[in-house]
Amino acid sequence: MPALQMSRSSVIVACEGHISCDLAGEAVVLDFKSGMYYGLDEVGASIWKLIAEPRTVGEICDALAAEYEVAPQVCESDVIALLAELAAKGLVETRDGATPR
């Protein structure tokens, strides 16, 4: 499987077939297909809420930068790393290019 490439313009959305719940600011996601549970910390839970609808990596990073004190480059790197991990587990879908305006 080739490495997943993401940029600020990559569009991300949570895949269907999952259910999640909030646990004191953190989130748990159940993948119905595999029966696996995945835990997300507070920042991961914020990202999960944001990608309930398609958003670009840039939009996700901008929202997190407004909520948390983080350097833009660090935020983008960390967001892309988490999204790549979620994509590898089949929890999110990605596609290149910005959403049409």
Give the count of domains, the chain.
1
Q: Which pLDDT score is estimated for 85? A: 93
Does residue 51 fall inside a structural domain? yes
- Give the range of the structural domain holding residue 31, as residue numbers without chain letter: 11-89
Does residue 59 fall inside a structural domain? yes
Distance CA 52, CA 56 (A): 12
Give the CATH number for residue 80.
1.10.10
* Contact between 38 and 29 (Cβ < 8 Å): yes
Q: pLDDT of 39-96, one tens digit each? A: 999 999 999 999 999 999 999 999 999 999 999 999 999 999 999 999 999 999 987 6
Give the contacts of 43 (CB within 8 A, at least 6 positions apart): 64, 68, 78
Does residue 64 fall inside a structural domain? yes
Does residue 98 fall inside a structural domain? no
Does residue 5 fall inside a structural domain? no
Distance CA 14, CA 54 (A): 8
